[in-house]
Structure 1
């Protein structure tokens, strides 16, 4: 069965940078283990990177979230901790300037994945956005989100996001 793991925005600024929060760093080992397991099975590993430019505060997102983060070529834009060193040259890496990745959506539409697991940050913004895109791109694929491999700075929003994903037919474990 063809499957993939999508690691959403597990970047320095979301873990311990400008938008970091307590608990985000605890996902590192779980995400690293998932990457290793998927690689051992011969499955694909895909990464998304929230990517902004120096004019971020002038964008729509910058007006509703006026905190510069994930500015390209800065430390905050980099994948966090050991996850950074786990990217391989044949992995797909999609930079995105908003919550969901148009490039990821276009890529998934051309694939025949039967199972897609998503993990990373932040559950109620970018993880859920990319889960919806994955569901739209491959409506018959099984989608999975491990509640131990995603989080939010707001636990009630995290719970709500997981419940919404369940409502979309995503298996939350």
Structure 2
């Protein structure tokens, strides 16, 4: 097959609640425009784009996660659940070959590898056709690292890069701790 290798971007939870909403984050506010420009640039360069959305029910506070993090956020259908306006605007004039939104009920999407495999099959491609994954979004120390680990387990021979300048953690310290942990697990950290 003469087709070029595929680069797949995993854009994690770039939602209003993680930027200016219920779990507002100054680091995310500071880099969301850069993140949106990066996503737009990658889409225009031909990357396949997968966007995850943290997605919770109305009874979030009664869930296991809600009992440990008692801040209602990313409630499906509410404004804070929506992708950031900056990202929506940046992506509005792109037409990637693959552009999927994946709603996930927990930190890491166990369905993400299957969704990727489905797209590969739909395009008559295989895992060997993936050049690399590029992962970025919010929060580095919770959902970014969780999805990175899910992908590492599912695609052990595929290069995975973390675009650190397009990530933000709950705190700057926890962001760095997550980057250090991912580097120890053989992810490439791009700054």
Query: What TM-score does the superposition give when structure 1 sets the normalisation length?
Result: 0.93
1:14 is matched with which residue: 11, 18, 28?
A: 18
1:83 maps onto 2:101 in alignment: no
- Contact kept in structure 2, 1:108 and 1:134, CA below 8 Å: no
RMSD: 1.6
1:162 maps onto 2:170 in alignment: no
Q: Mark the structure with the bigger radius of gyration.
A: 2
Segments of structure 1 that go 5 or more residues without pairing to the other structure are: none
Q: Distance in 1 between matches of 2:35 and 2:111?
A: 22
- Runs of 4+ in structure 1 deviating by more than 3 angstroms, as ranges, are 87-90, 108-111
- Aligned residue in 1 for 2:123: none
Q: CA-to-partner distance for each residue in 1:102-158, whole Å, 9 max, x for gaps?
A: 221322355422200111000000000000011111111111112111011311111
CA shift, 1:34, in A, is 1.7
Query: What TM-score does the superposition give when structure 2 sets the normalisation length?
Result: 0.85
Q: Distance in 1 between matches of 2:105 and 2:59?
A: 12
- Contact kept in structure 1, 2:141 and 2:170, CA below 8 Å: no
Paired residues, number: 173
Segments of structure 2 that go 5 or more residues without pairing to the other structure are: 121-126
- Contact kept in structure 1, 2:31 and 2:166, CA below 8 Å: yes
Moved more, 130-139 or 99-108: 99-108
2:113 is matched with which residue: 82, 105, 128?
A: 105
